[in-house]
Amino acid sequence: DCDHLFFTCPFSVSCWGSLDIYWDMSMDIRDRVRAAKASFSGPSFIMIFLCAAWHIWKQRNSFIFDRSPPSLSSWFAGFKQELFLLSHRIKENHRSILLAWLESLVIPS
């Protein structure tokens, strides 16, 4: 189910952990997102959340359709590239904060 795919499977937990995002699974999805947003210290939470979830979904599709096992480094590279491209859509002062945060991330092993 969606909770497993995006929040509780070990691969997803590793993805979120690499972004310092943690989920309270005792909450419904709306409260879970609100709580994660409130505790997130980085910028542009919703953009980061959606981009990360999209790339978790893409890893799942690669596994289902191409028999390619999920890879944290592949997920991270796709996430980082996509977020960089999306950064051009936001105001300059927010963009510089997002890009600095993005550059501070360390590629998970």
What span, in angstroms and rounded, lies between the C-alpha atoms of 73 and 59? 11
Three-state SS string across 43-103, please? CCHHHHHHHHHHHHHHHHHHHHHHCCCCCHHHHHHHHHHHHHHHHHHCCHHHHHHHHHHHH
Tokens of 79: 């996430």
What is the band of 109 on the pLDDT scale with cuts at 50, 70, 90? Answer: low
Residue 48 identity (one-letter amino acid):
I
What pLDDT was estimated at residue 50?
97
CB 16 within 8 A of CB 38: no
CB 52 within 8 A of CB 19: yes
What pLDDT was estimated at residue 75?
96
* pTM reported for the whole predicted model: 0.90
Which single residue is written with the structure tokens 């309270």? 24
What pLDDT was estimated at residue 96?
93
**Residue predicted with more confidence, 70 or 109:** 70
Tokens of 88: 């051009």
